[in-house]
Structure 1
């Protein structure tokens, strides 16, 4: 099973402790120090061709992007799949068993699997042969008041081919998928991402926006029902707008 890393800012000690308390059932989760957007030198990043000078990401969005990018590079370097989670992720108690089963049955050449649902948000799916798509929307509802029920729930998840996905709170990525995303994303730049067939055009305001532009070319999947949800509090998140 793919090694798992949780992205966590050095200054976000309480968030890491909360992650560990909520997800004590997970085994062998490694902490990965997130890139703190407050400390970045944008001029230097432009010189290194990591970003373009006209990129308007917030400090938090840029730090988040570079945190994910660093782990993609690790997946390529090790030539091993990797599971990445942000520190507000809340996992089903059955995540590891479902993950093992689903990975055994998915195509061996998969590139990207999203395990989480960003609430409220959409996933754009391949619904039927012939290029017929469907848009799936999640609603927050009362789920954050019933975390224990979510974690304990017995479900029968499946992996569905996806065209566009937003929210990178928890996903697995293969070395091939990581390499493709690195080639596509650099330099990180302004762009309008067209969701062909869905009538959507999205401005690139975060790493999940730019990755959405490549998803139709990848063997990308989303898990339904999701096995991970997120606590969307902003304070001290790796994505915090600072």
Structure 2
């Protein structure tokens, strides 16, 4: 499977950090991120990629369109692929364990998240259709543990995904890419109900829009995760 990672041309230090941290992963392919600071909002709207009243920041638009570009690439190629953001950190046995897990999924799987943001919830089915579960995390200990995680062999299992935040690392199938393109475009600001949080939140990025549809897709998450992120908001490409 192709392994793409997204990083902006104007942040070479983030590219360098990603490649150094994940040097144990072979054949990582750089996908230059679309820089929201240089994109023309009216052109994006005229192409039908975003609604006029969409409240996404420039960074969130650029980040979202980069993921969309890769989804289109996967859909056209007919081959699944891994997609990582440049704040992703992968466990030592990521390649063998991710291959093993994908081989256990139904043939018509859409997307599987290898990790998520650890400052909010992960809602998933512990037992399919029976036990809906909400997990919370300590982001501080996640950040502190990243150096050890990089040298760790992780044994993980897939679970049906309901909702979470962040798309630091995931695998997507051609079918899943096509379905997300159909469902997440054009970008729009809508209220998304989060049962695990007990409230509505307005969508501000593409992963919020994905949260609307995970229930209706063959979407999965993995526990324990195979991918961590330090989720540094100050350095976020969605700013």
Tell me the TM-score normalised to structure 2 length.
0.94
Are residues 144 and 199 of structure 1, via their aligned partners in 2, closer, same or farther at CA, if it must alter by over 3 Å?
closer
Alignment match, 1:42: 41
The CA deviation at 1:131 is 5.0
Alignment match, 1:233: 232
**Correspondence list, 1:93-172, <5 A:** 93-130=92-129, 132-172=131-171
For the aligned residue pairs, the C-alpha RMSD in angstroms reads: 1.7
Using the TM superposition, name which of 118-127 and 34-43 deviates more. 118-127
Preserved contact between residue 91 and residue 153 of structure 2 (Cα < 8 Å)? no
Distance across 2 between alignment mates of 1:74 and 1:207: 17
Alignment match, 1:180: 179
Alignment match, 2:75: 76
Deviations 1:98-143 (A, max 9, x none): 0111111121211010001312221111233545411111211333
Alignment match, 1:33: 32
Consecutive unaligned residues in structure 2, runs of 5 or more: none
Alignment match, 2:218: 219
Deviations 1:45-95 (A, max 9, x none): 111111111001111111111010000000111011111000111110110
Consecutive unaligned residues in structure 1, runs of 5 or more: none
Distance across 1 between alignment mates of 2:163 and 2:196: 11
Distance across 2 between alignment mates of 1:133 and 1:111: 20
Distance across 1 between alignment mates of 2:30 and 2:234: 19
**Correspondence list, 1:201-216, <5 A:** 201-216=200-215
Distance across 2 between alignment mates of 1:175 and 1:24: 27
Tell me the TM-score normalised to structure 1 length.
0.93
Distance across 2 between alignment mates of 1:193 and 1:145: 31
Distance across 1 between alignment mates of 2:84 and 2:237: 11
Distance across 2 between alignment mates of 1:92 and 1:116: 11
Using the TM superposition, name which of 139-148 and 24-33 deviates more. 139-148
2:66 aligned counterpart, secondary structure: helix
Are residues 144 and 82 of structure 1, via their aligned partners in 2, closer, same or farther at CA, if it must alter by over 3 Å?
same
